[in-house]
Chains A and B, each alone.
Chain A
Amino acid sequence: MNKIELENTIRQLKDIKPRQEWASLLKSQILNSAEQKQVITVAEIPAEKISVMDVISGIFSQRKLAYAVSTTLVFMVVGVFGFVNYTMPGDIFYPVKKIVEQTQSQTALQIAYNRSEDLVKVVKENKTQNLTPAITEYQASVSDAVKNLTDALANNNDKDSVGQLLDEVKKLQENQKQLEVLGVNVGNNDEMSELDTMLKTIVENQMADFEETTLTVEQQTKLANVKDLYEQGKYSEALEVMLQMDKQI
């Protein structure tokens, strides 16, 4: 290896980089540590003294015990299902939360939205042990949601369906932006690109339809706006304007 080859090979070591999620988490931990002041005090709780007589009298109260245990169990079960709403990916009861979502017949997008909420909460509360599972769950849920949306957009051409699906697309894009603002890079670039390509195709078809239609001056102005948005790659916004134009025709 001559000097130039060696220098070029050394420069290839620039590819050594830290993990994105680790770097983002470290940054938020350092910057948030300055804002949070936690004062934890531990109060001493005097130990209760339980005598042998207390235990014996308890055993003989079987009927009361049965009622008390069953009532407690009911509250516990209700409590668990209420409690699972607060669990995060990586927690023990998190699979129960996913089952509850399935029984409630939530759409793929609603589930992706729930996962993004979980991830935002994990980042804001610095729950490092939950971060990797939260990111994994989010990526999987977005992948499902985008696939469903892409299929739905391909199969539903009527304006009402496109309008509803567009609302869902915007929610998904807003989720991604919110996470990027928090410094979390969740990938999903391929899926979002695929969705973008689908939206672009729909916009192109709709623009072609409008160009064959007689338009008012106001509609021509809107169509020019649509073309600008298309050029900027803002396909969901372009589609939104065209749906408004559709309602006026």
Chain B
Amino acid sequence: MCSLNEQFSQIYDQYIDKIYRFVYLKVNSQEIAEDITSKVFLKGWEAFNNQGADIKNPGAFLYQIAKNSVIDYYRQKGRASVVSTDVVAELADSKTSAQDKAILNADVALVKTAIQKLKKDYQDVLIWHYLDDMPIGQIAEMIDKKEGTVRVMLHRGLKDLKDIIRES
């Protein structure tokens, strides 16, 4: 039987990239994303230590901590919990990071910026479905909504994304 350390180590390996990417797409800063992601896993480890087997879905648990941590971050910065598109534009790094330059082409950079302007709920479902390859059923269970609702959110999210890209 795996020790707690080994179990959490597997969870860490499985989710570190996903949680980091989830946070990064919301804050658009490597430094802030690392800071928030560290807090997510530290809190996750604390909870895992105390509750262990009671956490049925570690992924959903970590994503929830991540969402709350991003909200806390914006609150501390004196911004509204629902971030307006104008504020998001200001949050963007003034210079494209080395990572962006190395990895992202123009279209991808455009989509990345557009995602940051989406409604929070649409951001989440798009990231989970297209980047984390999460099935719609799993997303529905995670956010406690029906599968049909998640499909609609995905459809509307993509539509809003197209509109934002067209406007830019």
The answer to whether A and B interact is yes
CB within 8 Å of B: which residues of A? 1, 3, 6-7, 9-19, 22-23, 26-27, 30-31, 33-35
9 interchain residue pairs of minimum CB distance: A18-B20, A15-B103, A10-B130, A12-B108, A16-B21, A9-B111, A30-B45, A9-B107, A23-B16
User: A16, B12: Cβ atoms under 8 Å?
Assistant: no
Query: Which of B21, B30, B41, B104 is in CB contact (< 8 Å) with A30?
Result: B41
User: A16, B111: Cβ atoms under 8 Å?
Assistant: no
User: A6, B161: Cβ atoms under 8 Å?
Assistant: yes
In the complex formed, the residue of A with least CB distance to B23 is A18
Q: Give the complex CA separation of A15 and B101 in angstroms.
A: 12
Q: Give the complex CA separation of A17 and B20 in angstroms.
A: 7
Q: Give the complex CA separation of A6 and B12 in angstroms.
A: 30
Instruction: List residues of chain A with CB within 8 A of the CB of B99.
Output: 16
| 20 contacts across the A-B interface (CB closer than 8 A) | A1-B162, A6-B161, A6-B165, A7-B158, A12-B104, A12-B105, A12-B111, A14-B131, A15-B108, A16-B21, A18-B20, A23-B16, A26-B37, A27-B12, A27-B16, A30-B41, A31-B5, A31-B9, A34-B4, A34-B45
User: B9, A10: Cβ atoms under 8 Å?
Assistant: no
Interface residue? B62 (CB, 8 A) = no
Query: Which of A3, A13, A22 is in CB contact (< 8 Å) with B131?
Result: A13
User: A1, B107: Cβ atoms under 8 Å?
Assistant: yes
Q: Give the complex CA separation of A18 and B105 in angstroms.
A: 18
Instruction: List residues of chain A with CB within 8 A of the CB of B25.
Output: 13, 16
User: B45, A18: Cβ atoms under 8 Å?
Assistant: no
Please tell me the number of chain B residues within 8 Å of chain A, measured between CB atoms: 37
Interface residue? B72 (CB, 8 A) = no
Instruction: List residues of chain B with CB within 8 A of the CB of A16.
Output: 20-21, 24-25, 99, 103, 112
CB within 8 Å of A: which residues of B? 4-5, 8-9, 12-13, 16-17, 20-21, 24-25, 30, 33-34, 37-38, 41-42, 45, 49, 99, 103-105, 107-108, 111-112, 115, 126, 130-131, 158, 161-162, 165
Closest approach, in angstroms, between the C-beta of A184 and any C-beta of chain B? 14
User: A13, B111: Cβ atoms under 8 Å?
Assistant: yes
Q: Give the complex CA separation of A35 and B3 in angstroms.
A: 13
User: B130, A7: Cβ atoms under 8 Å?
Assistant: yes
Closest approach, in angstroms, between the C-beta of A84 and any C-beta of chain B? 32
User: A26, B131: Cβ atoms under 8 Å?
Assistant: no
Instruction: List residues of chain A with CB within 8 A of the CB of B126.
Output: 10
User: B103, A6: Cβ atoms under 8 Å?
Assistant: no
Q: Give the complex CA separation of A33 and B49 in angstroms.
A: 12
Number of cross-chain contacts by CB at 8 Å: 85
Instruction: List residues of chain B with CB within 8 A of the CB of A34.
Output: 4-5, 45, 49
Closest approach, in angstroms, between the C-beta of A153 and any C-beta of chain B? 34
Q: Give the complex CA separation of A10 and B115 in angstroms.
A: 9
Closest approach, in angstroms, between the C-beta of A233 and any C-beta of chain B? 25
User: B108, A9: Cβ atoms under 8 Å?
Assistant: yes
Closest approach, in angstroms, between the C-beta of B29 and any C-beta of chain A? 12
In the complex formed, the residue of A with least CB distance to B154 is A7
User: A22, B108: Cβ atoms under 8 Å?
Assistant: no
Given contacts A1-B107, A17-B21, A27-B13, 13 further A-B contacts (CB under 8 A): A3-B162, A6-B161, A9-B107, A10-B111, A13-B21, A13-B115, A17-B17, A23-B17, A26-B16, A26-B37, A30-B8, A31-B5, A35-B5
Instruction: List residues of chain A with CB within 8 A of the CB of B5.
Output: 31, 34-35
User: B112, A13: Cβ atoms under 8 Å?
Assistant: yes
Query: Considering residues A1, A12, A15, A16, which has the most beta carbons from chain B within 10 angstroms of its beta carbon?
Result: A16
Q: Give the complex CA separation of A19 and B45 in angstroms.
A: 20
Q: Give the complex CA separation of A35 and B115 in angstroms.
A: 40
